[in-house]
Structures are given as C-alpha cells and as structure tokens.
Amino acid sequence: MSTHLTTVAGVAVDTRHFIGGERVASTETFTDVSPIDGSVLAEISRGTAMEAAAAVAAAKAAFPAWAATPRAERARLLHAIADGVERRLEELALVETTDNGALLRSHRRGVMPRVAHNFRFFADWLLELDHEDFTTRGHTNHVTWDPAGPCVLITPWNAPLMLATWKVAPALAAGDTVVLKPAEWSPLTASLLADIATEAGLPAGVLNVVQGYGSEVGDPLTAHPDVRRISFTGSVPTARHIAASAAANLTPLSLELGGKSPLLVFADADLDLAADLAVEQYDNAGQVCLAATRILVEAPVAEEFTRRFTEKAAALRQGDPREEATDIGPTIHPRQLEKINGFVRRALEAGARAVIGGHRGAGQYYAPTLLTDVRQDSEIVQEEVFGPVLTLQTFDDEDEAVRLANDTRFGLAATVATGDADRAARVTARLVAGTVWVNCFFVRDLKAPFGGSRHSGVGREGGTWSFDFYCDVKNTVTAPKGFKDHG
C-alpha cells in the first residue's frame, strides 16, 4: 500500500492534497488523532503557501471551461457526485465518526444522506434559477447569475463533510471552481470527497482540496488576489483575521460564525416538549453552532421544567459514538475539552451551581451540564462554549424574555416554546436571529436563507441566496429599438 494511504475503519484514505486532479504530497505532515480513543489515524500532508498557490492556479485554469459548461451538464455532474456519496455512504459515515467523534447512527441516517442532498438540491435549483424579465420605460431588464471565479471554502470540524458540501455544492453549481480547506482536526472525508468527485467525472482543477493549518495554508489562500469568493464557517476571531486578509483584494465574504442562542420557555408551553428541545441541545456533544445553550424559563414553571429536563437528561447515554445506543460522544480534541472545562470551572468559582454535570469524564468526554445561578453579564452566559454545557435563567414577562434573549453579541438562532400562537408571533418578531424555531428545533430546508446577525455572521446562503453570493448577479438592459434587421 502507498505510504500516502491510511486505513480508517477499514476504508483507504489518501493523506495528500488534491490539486488540479492530482494527488500532491507536502514535505511536512501533521497528525490526525481520533477523539474516541486518542489513536493516531494518519499523518496528513501539511500545506504551505506553495500548495495554496498551486491550488488557486489550478482553480483559475479550470474556471473558464467550467463556467462555460451548460447548466444541465453541471447539474448532471453534481447528481453523479451525489450518487457516489450514496454508494459510499457507509464508508463516509465510519470514517467521519472515527475522525471527529460524532454519532455513527447520526452519520448513517441523517448527516451523509444530507451530504448527497446538498448536491442534488443545488443541481436542481440551478436548473430552475431564473428572474422574470421586467421593463423600464419600454426597455427590457434581464437578470443573470454569472460564475464569479475561484472560491476558497474553509470549513469546520464539527460536521466536516456536510458543512463542506453545503458550500462546495452551490459553488460548483454556480459555475465557480473551488479550493476546499478542511479543518485540521477532521480532514479525512474531504479527501474522500475528492475521490468521489473524480469518479463522477468532475474535470481536473474544478475541485481542489488543501489540508493544513490556517496560519500556514489558510492565510495565503484568503489573501490570494485571484480568489473571487471566500466562505468560512468557524469562530469570530478567525473570521476577523480572514476578513482583514480578504480586504486588500475586496474579496466578497460569507461568514457563518458562533452562536449563543436562547431557548425561551413560556409558562403556557408544553413542558415535556420544551424539556425535549432543551435536552436536544446536547446533540454532537454540544458542538453545534446553532445550539440553544441559554435556557430562559418563565419563573412560575422553572422548577417543574427543571425537574422534567433533569429526568430526560439522566436517560442520555454517553460513550463510544460507534455504538447504536450512545447519545453523546466525545469532544473533538484535548484543547477543546480543556476550553470547555475552563468555562465551567470559572463559572462555578463565580457562584454558578451545577444542576447536572459540571465535570470531565474519562478520556475526551465531558459530562452533560446544566448551570444555574448565573449572571447575565457572566462569561458563561455571554461567550460560546461549544460543548455540552447549558445555562438556565428565569424571566417574569415577555419583555424580560426578549431582553435576555437578545442580550449577547451573537444572533445566529433562537428557539421559542409556547402554546400561544399570538405570543409566538410577537416574540419572534422581536428576536435578533438568523433562524427562529417555534416549538421545534433544527428543521432546515435548503431553500431557506441561512446565516447569522451581529457577530454570528455576514450574509446568507441557501436557495437563491447561495447563487447571489457565489455569482456575479448581472442586469442587462436592452432598448426597444436600435438593432439592424439582418433578414
């Protein structure tokens, strides 16, 4: 077997970059470790400015032909990639669970099917993308979405392949070429995606994958003058760095960043439903940007809500994510585990009380935690923990509920539990958030706009909003006369 291949969960994965249709090795590597048991999975090619430049050059060279490819052919190739994902769904699920520690059952049933759906949805949306012509003083206005050029897509570790293809699929559908830079803590399924795209017939250079650290390969990618779009999902500090890097070239950005989302539970809510929604926030060990980590409960029902919540949380099973019965897996990396533990430790020292959890488990596991007796201006309420840690506060009326909900620098999502439709309408209208769920959570349609407000992001993607970002939207105005008759 090649020294550049590693076997993960019985699946061969190439550890090199994928540039211009070829596998390219770096002289240096970085170590990829499984969060499940700390075992070394692979030594991954560690990209530098040289690989970044080569990948952008490959994307630039491939762009004219790909941009000129008819919509129907681009859509066909995206469907062929989706077919390849479905054929290898079990392999992708096994590799990603081993690499990032998320539940295997979730990867099999939800995440990897969504990966395929990302490609199918944007392939189909491309074929329907249209704007009705309109007239201005007899002149015809015709709107088109023109491919923009090479895109750099930088993706996170908490749902590696799903969030990568949420960007890759619309960019390719739009006629752009792509340089994908996956997170260094979970790079393996991005490499498999390159194989699948090649097998589907995607032309060389249209999709490139470069691995490595942000400071070494990410910076030269985002600062490259030939890059026409940058899409990033991750932390606010990294987004600031990317935005500063892109500013020199005025490269348009789409940023989906952190969250500190609220779950508002009113006294008229179905408390069992509300408790279920709250427990659901422990999904993926709390490593979900959309998670409603701030539970806000109307005071008269706070005690009863807490009782039901703790009963339901006690039934959760934490353990090996490859086992069907497991509900919560490990934290992605020792650094992330230490970050989570630091947040909770400081909160407890400041007077917070742990209703459940509040401590580390064995290995890279952190116990599901609910903290109460927290101040609104405290670190644990204001800053994103990105782990299985929730806080609980009470409110007396709608105004206070909305004030507390909006009182952070974030605005990614919010969830409202209430039995009163009029109240739901009043409250949701006042919440600062890119997505609001009422009596439900994580219902996502790819037609819907997705993004955050305030420090939770810049821009929206999804449906036509994705094409608005990945394309140069052009309006052509034609006079009613002036053409010569060639008949």
Stated as kind and residue range, the H or E segment containing 231 is: strand 229-233
Residue 39 token pair: 């075992």
Q: Which long-range contacts (CB under 8 A, 24 or more apart) does 445-451 make?
A: 446/117, 446/118, 446/121, 446/122, 446/125, 447/125, 450/256, 451/254, 451/256
Catalytic site residues?
256, 289
Which residue's entry shows tokens 């909900």?
405
Which residue's entry shows tokens 């400081």?
346
Cα 349 from Cα 314, distance rounded (Å): 25
Cα 294 from Cα 242, distance rounded (Å): 28
Which residue's entry shows tokens 């940007």?
289
DSSP-derived secondary structure letter, 108: I
Cα 346 from Cα 370, distance rounded (Å): 14
Cα 13 from Cα 189, distance rounded (Å): 8
Stated as kind and residue range, the H or E segment containing 417 is: strand 413-417
CA-based nearest residue to 344, from 332, 328, 360: 360
Which residue's entry shows tokens 């990945």?
470
Backbone angles phi, psi at 208, to 5 degrees: -125, 145
CA-based nearest residue to 159, from 118, 112, 197, 121: 112
N-terminal to C-terminal alpha carbon distance within the chain: 67
Which residue's entry shows tokens 């600031």?
240
